[in-house]
A and B are shown apart, each in its own frame.
Chain A
Amino acid sequence: MSQAARVERPGILWAAPALVFFGLFGLGPVVVVAYLSFTQWNGLETPVWVGMENWQALPGDPNVGHGLLISLGLTSLCWLTQTPLAIMFGAWAAGKQRIRAVASAIFFLPLLLSTAAIALIWRALLDPNFGLAPDIGPFMGLPNGNFLGNGSIALYVIAFVILWQFLPFHMLLYQAAARDIPRNFYEAAEIDGASRLQQFFSITVPQLRNTIIASSILIIVNSMTFFETVLLLTNGGPGTATRILPLHMYFRGFSGFEMGYASAIAVVLVAVGTTLSLLIVRITGYSKMTSQREGA
């Protein structure tokens, strides 16, 4: 410490531009949205303070509870499908054969496309009259190919499209991490006579623990961006079957022009998103990991 103290250190000024900028466009809006949630504002005039009015209306809005529920449902669905598949394919792709490298390259293709592009491709494919849907529907119990217009399956279809888009990314994380697992772990297990499945669960999965945590956090944080996919695929429909909470906020705000009320929903979104992230950080001890690195 005494030696280091002689070295001139950068001061607050170095961090100031980032702080001001992030304050203005990153965290500032969180405070502003909290303020707006107590106002009535149609996007045109000056917001008018109305106290708790928007907040009192929230519980009576069936789409808020419903939206929150399917938002969380969609997030869980995405976690449940992406995590096991990504671990499995990631571990598989970490192998050295050429075929795996080629296959991984193909797997990777969805990552080159934007969310909008992917949603539009699937919309064209799932068009019940002019797409592929009427051809594959009958094999999946949907003779009319009505994938996106069927309230009981539209959410699963969305989860599938999201899986299609993001699986390669998470696979990539696991592939990199799996390559770092020392080979001799497996060799030792082999000598002990452990089966492949035992090896997978006793070596691969524990060794990937930190990656699993990081990947899960990403899925949960990203689940808020599912907004675009849902907007472009089903527009929240049929009815309100896929109207996730961010979409409900968007509609109330930018179609109904009840910006104040929409802000109250937005505050709920921020609260839920932050709570979930902090919860994972707490439960998994991810904070210890980062603070250890930070303390270096």
Chain B
Amino acid sequence: MMTVESTARTTEPAVGQGRVSGTEPRKPRRRGQRRERPNIGAGIGAGLWFVIVAVPVYFLLATSLRGQGDYLGEGPLSLPTGLTLDNYVRVFEVGFANFLLNSLIVATGAICLVLAVALPAAFAIVRSQNRFVRATFSLFLLGLAVPAQAVIIPIYLIITRLNLYDSLTAIILPTAAFALPISILVLTSSLRDVPRELYEAMAIDGAKVSQTFLQLVLPLSRSGIVTVAIFVGLQAWNNFIFPLVLTQSQETRVLPLGLWEFQTQYGTDVPGLMAAVVLSALPIFALYLFGRRHLLGGLAAGFGK
């Protein structure tokens, strides 16, 4: 109750203040309002949210860098007295590198699998005149509404019957399947932007369908492919329930599960846990720094407008 009310409180008056911002300057108008239309109400709300986001992030980073005794003694938000990388070292000692590698394999596998089946399918859906093929688009859209954990029991059944239980493949297959609908949505919409004339030009040159696919569709859907790759990669990277139910051993443990195990085994070692969390986010953070636009596209896949 508390939390929801408090966030609601910060927003509702904030909008109201926006209206009377000229007459009630509770906060100094220091933000570049001369260039842009001022919006103090939303600004205050954003400021509050800034704190709500920043405090846990600070907690995460600071805790990961402080000693265990320091954490229990000084309280969670104090400035760490002595910075140490011991926590990070300890995390690697319990097999973190292996989790990281497994997650990378799963993400790569899922991306390749999705692209391999989704690209031709999207091409067929956009270009085929067969009603059945075009109708499959609706079938995939329907798949959007199927929640993954509602079918975890049959997936478990299928995976064990295929003798895939406790393998990385067992994670890749359902992860890719559940990323397929949005991937196809993204790829079809990017293919629909290809002018009909280009296909016709290819046809006049006597190109086969496969040549059209390789020489026209692939290059022109490059941005869609990047978006899908990032979207699928994130899904695979963060997925929890498939590895939870479909794998068991240390050898097949992926990052999110590794974090959880770390928590139950070294529960009161919060600094170590936070170091593990930071490490698990680093690859995504690197992606964010070097390909922000693509990452955002991958996150918002298919829902830009």
Known: A29-B155, A77-B4. A10 touches B237 (CB 8 A): no
CB of A57 closer than 8 Å to a CB of B: no
B29-37, B81-89, B90-98, B219-227 - interface stretch? B29-37
Q: Are B153 and A25 in contact (CB under 8 A)?
A: no
CB of A224 closer than 8 Å to a CB of B: yes
Judged by DSSP, the binding face of A is helix
Inter-chain CA distance A12–B127, complex, in Å, is 11
Q: How many residues of A contact B (CB 8 A)?
A: 121
Q: Are B153 and A197 in contact (CB under 8 A)?
A: no
CB of A214 closer than 8 Å to a CB of B: yes
Judged by DSSP, the binding face of B is helix
Residues of B within 8 A of A22 (CB): 139-140, 143, 177, 180-181
Q: How far is the CB of B124 from chain A (nearest CB, A)?
A: 4
Q: Are A164 and B56 in contact (CB under 8 A)?
A: yes
Known: A26-B143, A180-B305, A270-B146. A81 touches B240 (CB 8 A): no
Known: A25-B155, A117-B281, A132-B77. A96 touches B150 (CB 8 A): no
Residues of B within 8 A of A293 (CB): 189, 192
Q: Are B150 and A270 in contact (CB under 8 A)?
A: yes
Q: Are A84 and B11 in contact (CB under 8 A)?
A: yes
Q: How many residues of B contact A (CB 8 A)?
A: 124
CB of A36 closer than 8 Å to a CB of B: yes
Q: Are B116 and A17 in contact (CB under 8 A)?
A: yes
Inter-chain CA distance A296–B270, complex, in Å, is 54
User: What per-residue 1/0 map shows which CB atoms of A135-168 lie under 8 Å from chain B?
Assistant: 1000011100000000011001101100110010
User: What per-residue 1/0 map shows which CB atoms of B1-36 lie under 8 Å from chain A?
Assistant: 111101110010011101101000000000110011
Given contacts A85-B45, A117-B280, A214-B303, list 15 more A-B pairs with CB under 8 A.
A7-B202, A12-B132, A18-B184, A22-B140, A85-B49, A109-B53, A113-B280, A135-B77, A140-B3, A164-B52, A169-B299, A173-B300, A197-B18, A225-B148, A250-B149
Known: A81-B7, A173-B300. A92 touches B128 (CB 8 A): no
CB of B69 closer than 8 Å to a CB of A: no
Residue of B49, B116, B118, B157 near A89 (CB, 8 A) is B49
Known: A7-B200, A26-B180, A81-B4. A18 touches B120 (CB 8 A): yes
A-B contact pairs, 18 of them (CB 8 A): A5-B129, A7-B199, A7-B203, A8-B208, A29-B155, A33-B153, A85-B45, A92-B42, A110-B53, A114-B259, A115-B238, A121-B277, A153-B2, A156-B4, A159-B4, A197-B16, A224-B148, A273-B147
